[in-house]
């Protein structure tokens, strides 16, 4: 019990912003001879020690799951990151960050940047899905933000024109994208778009804004997808700072979302990045919009004109792309897969 008590006191004083030396002085004045030694306190206060402990713990969990059997409920929670505590929920759900040379030690996070991250993340995801992946994929809600310009020129491939053999190709003028743009946030699942939100140019995306957005998302799911919330929503999003901020992670916990692990630096495993936004921008490319409202209307029209199976295709591709990621041993998946 004394160790637990000392740990709680140390944590409280750290939260107050006191240095290790001040913490040691205060504890010596209160506990006297029962005060733990300086070496113990420094070890407890060291973020590198905390990082090393997380590596060991996560590596042991990963070895258990990779034995070829079906993951237990506890191991599933390791992959589906059930939010526990009041901060840093994602750390316990990271797959096997045991390479100390690639550890980024910070106040709340220790991420790996090597190719093992997408490889191990894909392995855990496929084990979670099992032989019948549909029940898990139907529970996924994913979302992200992207800039949509008032005018974005066509790509070289889109603007190609046929011309007769022996004649010179038509002259083309260099066209750049417009300065006017709008930040679009889209949340969607296998059945369609759940929530669309917009931010004008110059307005920053904050944790408080994302908090309100998650509350709106929860209400949209309850209204548009009857029974989905009770089955348990698996939120899949990338590791953008606003998504992993203290405010946003607290909101995830408060509203009851379960968060699927997304390996860092893996847009090829994010449905919005490899499917939704590229197709949206391909359709809008070459069109000119004079106002933000015109852009919003074009985006809404794009999604309204799609078949019901259109968005489910994007999420179901997670299975084939995860397998491809494992096959490539964590290397980036090229376009076309």
pLDDT at position 333 over 70? yes
Question: In 10 A of CB 48, how many CB atoms?
Answer: 12
Q: Which residues is 288 bridged to in the sheet?
A: 151
13-25 average pLDDT score: 75
Q: What is the pLDDT of residue 180?
A: 87
- pTM of this prediction? 0.65
Label residue 125 by pLDDT band (50, 70, 90): very high
Q: How far is CA 26 from the centre of its chain?
A: 41
Q: Residue holding tokens 């916990």?
A: 253
Closest C-alpha among 196, 200, 198, 197 to residue 181: 200
304 pLDDT above the threshold of 70 = yes
CA distance 287 to 151: 6
Q: Which span out of 6-10, 200-204, 212-216 was modeled with the highest average pLDDT?
A: 212-216
Average pLDDT of the chain?
75
What per-residue confidence (pLDDT) applies to 171?
A: 56
Mean pLDDT of 39-63: 46
For residue range 162-181, list pLDDT tens digits in order.
556 666 665 554 555 567 89
Residue 4 CA to residue 8 CA, distance in Å, equals 6
Instruction: Please state which of the ranges 110-114, 222-226, 312-316, 326-330 shows the lowest mean pLDDT.
Output: 110-114
Q: How confident is the model at residue 211 (pLDDT cuts 50, 70, 90)?
A: very high
Residue 161 pLDDT: 53
Q: Which residue has the higher pLDDT, 288 or 69?
A: 288
Sheet of strand 234-236, all strands in order from the earlier edge strand to the far edge: 192-200, 181-189, 140-149, 234-236, 258-259
Task: Tell me how far apart the alpha carbons of residues 82 and 253 are, in angstroms, rounded to a whole number.
Answer: 8
Residue 50's pLDDT is 46
Query: Backbone phi, then psi, for 125, in 5-degree steps?
Result: -65, -45
What value does the mean pLDDT take over residues 317-332? 92
How confident is residue 251, by pLDDT bands cut at 50, 70 and 90? very high
Question: Which structural domains are found in the chain, ordered by start?
Answer: 66-159+175-337 (3.30.420.10)
| Separation of alpha carbons 314 and 216, rounded Å | 23
- Point out the least confidently predicted range of 6-15, 58-67, 120-129, 316-325: 58-67
State mean pLDDT over 289-293.
Answer: 93
The encoded tokens of residue 37 equal: 């030694």
When pLDDT is cut at 50, 70 and 90, the band that residue 117 belongs to is confident
């Amino acid at each position: 019990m004394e160790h637990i008590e000392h740990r709680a006191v140390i944590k409280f004083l750290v939260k107050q912003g006191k240095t290790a030396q001040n913490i040691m002085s205060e504890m010596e004045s209160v506990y006297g001879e029962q005060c733990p030694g300086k070496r113990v306190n420094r070890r407890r206060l060291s973020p590198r020690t905390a990082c090393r402990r997380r590596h060991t713990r996560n590596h042991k969990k990963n070895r258990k799951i990779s034995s070829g059997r079906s993951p237990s409920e506890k191991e599933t929670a390791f992959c589906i990151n059930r939010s526990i505590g009041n901060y840093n929920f994602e750390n316990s759900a990271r797959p096997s960050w045991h390479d100390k040379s690639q550890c980024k030690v910070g106040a709340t996070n220790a991420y790996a940047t090597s190719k093992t991250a997408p490889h191990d993340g894909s392995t855990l995801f496929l084990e979670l899905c099992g032989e019948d992946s549909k029940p898990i994929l139907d529970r996924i809600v994913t979302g992200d933000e992207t800039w949509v310009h008032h005018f974005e020129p066509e790509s070289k491939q889109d603007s190609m024109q046929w011309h007769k053999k022996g004649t010179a190709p038509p002259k083309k003028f260099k066209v750049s994208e417009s300065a006017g743009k709008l930040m679009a946030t889209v949340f969607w699942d296998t059945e369609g778009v759940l929530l669309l939100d917009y931010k004008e140019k110059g307005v920053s995306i904050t944790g408080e804004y994302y908090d309100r957005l998650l509350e709106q998302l929860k209400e949209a799911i309850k209204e548009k997808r009857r029974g989905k919330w009770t089955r348990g929503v698996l939120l899949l999003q990338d590791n953008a700072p606003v998504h992993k901020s203290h405010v946003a992670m607290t909101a995830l916990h408060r509203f009851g979302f379960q968060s699927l692990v997304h390996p860092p630096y893996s847009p090829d495993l994010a449905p919005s990045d490899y499917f939704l936004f590229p197709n949206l921008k391909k359709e809008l490319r070459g069109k000119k919009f004079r106002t933000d409202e015109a852009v919003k209307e074009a985006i809404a029209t794009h999604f309204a004109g799609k078949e019901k199976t259109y968005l489910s295709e994007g999420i179901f591709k997670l299975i084939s792309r995860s397998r491809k990621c494992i096959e490539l041993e964590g290397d980036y998946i090229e376009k076309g897969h």
